[in-house]
Structure 1
Amino acid sequence: MNKDLLFALIQNPNLIPGIYNYCDGWCERCEFTRNCLNFKMMEEGVPDLEDAESEASSAMENLDEMFQLSMELLHQAAKDLGMELPKETIDFDSDVEERKDELIFKSQIMLQADKYSELVDAWFLDFESLLYVGVNTLKEIFDFTNEEDMLEEEQKIFDVYEIIRWYQFIIPSKLFRSLRSKVNTEESGNEFYQHDSVASAKVALVSIDRSIDAWSCFLQRFPESEDSMLPILLLLSGLKTLVEKIFPEARDFIRPGFDI
């Protein structure tokens, strides 16, 4: 991707500024890909990794070029506004920052989020070969490579499975980002970090909501496994309450495109 192409993409009137900043990253299921600069850049600039002729080195070179172009755009935008991007601070201490990250990982909210991910893995390991939809086990359904071959009920179950698996790791990653930005806000008072903290917490809450809905569907379909699913739902419910307590403004945050 060259600079002219990137500028051309930016001029697209259908783009929603910043929509990619606080999404769940699930482009395959997103209704706003035509409005997303990040998606357009990937379409134009990143090789298809499933193409046998594509190589990892080519992909990395392309990503590096996109990063350099993005930095040029940022510097130009700042110059147009009579501003200068901050330079790397000489006070940055990687050991100190690493200790801050460690404290976040040990926080109650992150421990619960990580515990949820572990419970998801354990549940599917224990039950996907024991529960049936028609004549097929869950494992057999999940291993299908072509969804068109599935029966309607199997497709619904597979859809729920994908939701659970996708958000299983989105939840802790977004919570870590929100907590890290919260720490940065308290240290610097920078409004950007405050904005990022609340917005990331909003994405985490949406992910938790969708996960609760998905597990509720499983519970309704497989009531015989209620005892194994209730602890997962209780943990998610408790995590949601905790996030809402720590980030009381998150529910009201309006994400560009998604919440308008």
Structure 2
Amino acid sequence: MNEEIFISGIYNYCDRWCEKCFYTNRCLLFNQEIDMEIKQILRDDDKNNPNIMDEDMKNSLQSAFKNINKFMDEEDEQYEEFEMDDFEFDDDNDETEFEKEFFKEKISDEERPSTFLKNADNPLILLSENLFNDLYKYYELLKSKFPAEIEIKNPKDTLQQNLDLLGWYIPLLNVKIRISYWYKHKLSKSKDPEFAETDEEMLNVNSRIAFISIEKCIAALNFLYQLKPELQSETKALLNNILQIRNIFIEEFPNAQTYRRPYFD
């Protein structure tokens, strides 16, 4: 794999809808994942097998450390080389220990992205979760009203295109809202200027993707409102929900409207 053609870190700025992306041929992550899937198919591996997943994780981390060391060599920085052998994931030295060693500090459960805001009474997160549930009900209603159109799965059909868009961006919105709050929290507690700069960039990137998701959902629902007059009341209810999310989101993350992602905005 010729790594010279890849755009450094471009996958940090995208919405991960690879089928719609113009940069897959220059995305290292996409090509690594494709390469991994091809190898799994050729070996007839079960990608859900825990042993296979562990091996894939190890290979991904080895690749990451290789790129870090390459970057350090190029920049002529005097850092201690990261050794993959120091971070084997097993019963005695699991992923938690890896995080402790890598970041040189103890990370409590409350400071982890996976547990931060878990079950929290956050109106924006709750609204986005409700939107996801409402979308499922809306889709089931469409299937009952227009079974022929839904079951055909024609990618050129405008109804299917807009449903696919909602099906991608509404779940993504919930995830990105949570991540945005996480980085906002991290930024508020950061004492190191370099870490703060990274946290601010990740906050801007994730909140921007969330904002783009909101805008795309609004456009799709407006289209469906005109396309299916029989369901205008249900479509309008969804539209009102996403507009409410938009208003709160802008108050919480105002930079999302003006931040521009490299290559994508």
Question: TM-score range with shorter-chain normalisation?
Answer: 0.7 to 0.9
Q: Does 1:68 align with 2:59?
A: no
Q: Note the 1:1-260 alignment, pairs <5 A.
A: 5=1, 8-9=2-3, 11-12=4-5, 15-47=6-38, 53-56=44-47, 57=49, 60=53, 61-78=55-72, 80-83=76-79, 87-95=102-110, 97=112, 101-102=116-117, 105-130=120-145, 137=146, 139-144=147-152, 147=154, 155-189=157-191, 190-259=196-265
Contact kept? 1:46, 1:63, Cα under 8 Å: no
Aligned to 2:178, the other structure's residue is in SS state helix
Match of 2:89 in 1: none
Q: Provide closer, same or farther for how the CA distance between residues 221 and 52 of structure 1 changes in structure 2, counting only shifts above 3 A.
A: farther
> How many pairs are equivalent?
237
Instruction: State the distance in 1 between where 2:264 and 2:36 align.
Output: 25
Q: Which residue identity does 1:209 align to in structure 2? A: E
Aligned to 2:144, the other structure's residue is in SS state coil
1:140, distance to aligned residue in structure 2 (A): 3.3
Deviates more, 1:162-171 or 1:119-128: 119-128
Q: Provide closer, same or farther for how the CA distance between residues 197 and 141 of structure 1 changes in structure 2, counting only shifts above 3 A.
A: same
Instruction: State the distance in 1 between where 2:42 and 2:217 align.
Output: 33
Instruction: State the distance in 1 between where 2:113 and 2:60 align.
Output: 28
TM-score, with normalisation over the residues of structure 1?
0.80
Instruction: State the distance in 2 between where 1:177 and 1:47 align.
Output: 31
1:99, distance to aligned residue in structure 2 (A): 9.8
Instruction: State the distance in 2 between where 1:51 and 1:232 align.
Output: 44
Unpaired segments ≥5 residues, structure 1: 131-136
Unpaired segments ≥5 residues, structure 2: 83-100
- Aligned-residue sequence identity (percent) comes to 19
TM-score, with normalisation over the residues of structure 2?
0.79
Instruction: State the distance in 2 between where 1:162 and 1:141 align.
Output: 13
Instruction: State the distance in 2 between where 1:39 and 1:175 align.
Output: 24
For residues 66-105 of structure 1, give each alpha carbon's deviation from its aligned partner in whole angstroms, at most 9, with x where no partner exists: 2222123224434633346883344321256489613684
For residues 205-256 of structure 1, give each alpha carbon's deviation from its aligned partner in whole angstroms, at most 9, with x where no partner exists: 1111111111111110112211111121111111112111111111221212
Instruction: State the distance in 2 between where 1:224 and 1:110 align.
Output: 30
Q: Which residue identity does 1:160 align to in structure 2? A: N
Aligned-residue RMSD, C-alpha: 2.7
Q: Which residue identity does 2:247 align to in structure 1? A: T
Q: Which residue identity does 1:201 align to in structure 2? A: S
For residues 108-165 of structure 1, give each alpha carbon's deviation from its aligned partner in whole angstroms, at most 9, with x where no partner exists: 11111111111101112233211xxxxxx2x3333335x37xxx6xx11111111011
